[in-house]
């Protein structure tokens, strides 16, 4: 099975502009992500997909990069545009967030382990005990069925629990087979997606199954200046 890892990256972050090129302990965020994924030795190819020439020139020094247009509305569309520009085919495409510089090989192993028929879209969740941190809108929560398929994603705490005990936190890494990826990017925005600002709900509303694996490994995305401080402290 041939698997490609694609890392979408853009400069226009509303909360932390220019974050792919922000340095963390002397190395840019996008370089840390790329090197972590590449060193895992789990992929047949790893590329960065970006519409920005500054990011393109920077990544070209240490890795593979594809220049995309400014048309994609989100990372999923950018991943597909980059894939279309390749001159080879892959069985699965793994979409790796460009703002997770400490992504672990174990997480990548977990997502790849469910990249097989009949699965078409795959993602990860982690069991979490309740804490105030889980209330943050930037942390997505998930409920799944007995077949380990996502039933709903939300920025709110789900399911409702009067005693607030255990939840499933979404780890924002996805894998798709190319044909399914082509289908889901052509779907119009759904009503639930607009309510929650979560594109995964577009897929669910249109009948696509999202297969889920429970991982023991957490993620650490960098969205704010406070997150950057935490990242520096993590390394030092």
Query: What digits encode the pLDDT tens for the residues 131-168?
Result: 998 998 888 999 999 999 999 999 999 999 999 999 99
- Give the pLDDT of residue 148: 96
- Whether 235 has a pLDDT exceeding 80, the answer reads no
- Which range has highest mean pLDDT (11-20, 177-186, 216-225)? 177-186
Instruction: Report in angstroms the alpha-carbon separations of 212 from 1, 150, 154, 195, 198.
Output: 20, 6, 15, 23, 16
- Whether 192 has a pLDDT exceeding 80, the answer reads yes
- Give the pLDDT of residue 18: 87
Confidence of residue 65 (pLDDT cuts 50, 70, 90): very high
**pLDDT, average across residues 116-121:** 93
Q: Which domains are present in the chain? A: 3-231 (3.90.550.10)
Prediction pTM value: 0.94
- Whether 205 has a pLDDT exceeding 80, the answer reads yes
- Give the pLDDT of residue 133: 86
**pLDDT, average across residues 168-178:** 96
**pLDDT, average across residues 26-45:** 95
66-91 tens-digit pLDDT: 999 988 678 899 999 999 999 999 99
- Which range has highest mean pLDDT (21-25, 82-86, 230-234)? 82-86
- Whether 14 has a pLDDT exceeding 70, the answer reads no
**pLDDT, average across residues 201-218:** 96
**pLDDT, average across residues 80-103:** 94
What is the distance in angstroms between the CA of the first residue and the CA of the last residue of the chain?
38
- Give the pLDDT of residue 89: 95
- Give the pLDDT of residue 61: 97
- Whether 232 has a pLDDT exceeding 90, the answer reads no
- Give the pLDDT of residue 229: 78
Instruction: Report in angstroms the alpha-carbon separations of 187 from 84, 173, 180.
Output: 18, 20, 11
- Based on the number of CB atoms within 10 Å of its own CB, is 106 exposed (0-12), middle (13-18) or buried (19 or more)? exposed
């Amino acid at each position: 099975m041939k698997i490609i890892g694609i890392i979408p990256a853009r400069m226009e972050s509303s909360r932390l502009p220019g974050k792919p090129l922000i340095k963390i302990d002397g190395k840019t965020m996008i370089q840390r992500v790329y090197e972590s994924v590449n060193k895992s030795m789990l992929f047949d190819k790893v590329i960065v997909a970006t519409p920005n020439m500054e990011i393109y020139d920077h990544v070209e020094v240490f890795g593979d990069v594809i220049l995309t247009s400014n048309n994609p509305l989100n990372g999923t569309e950018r991943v597909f545009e980059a894939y279309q520009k390749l001159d080879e085919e892959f069985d699965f495409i793994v979409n790796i967030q460009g703002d997770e510089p400490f992504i672990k090989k174990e997480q990548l192993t977990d997502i790849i382990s469910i990249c097989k028929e009949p699965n078409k879209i795959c993602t990860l969740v982690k069991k979490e005990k309740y804490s105030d941190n889980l209330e943050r809108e930037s942390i997505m929560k998930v409920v799944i069925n007995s077949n380990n398929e996502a039933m709903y994603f939300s920025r709110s705490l789900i399911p409702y629990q009067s005693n607030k005990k255990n939840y499933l936190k979404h780890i924002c890494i996805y894998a798709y087979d190319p044909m399914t990826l082509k289908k889901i990017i052509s779907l119009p925005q759904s009503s639930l997606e607009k309510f929650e600002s979560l594109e995964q709900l577009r897929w669910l509303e249109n009948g696509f199954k999202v297969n889920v694996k429970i991982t023991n490994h957490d993620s650490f995305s960098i969205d704010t200046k406070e997150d950057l401080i935490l990242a520096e402290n993590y390394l030092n």
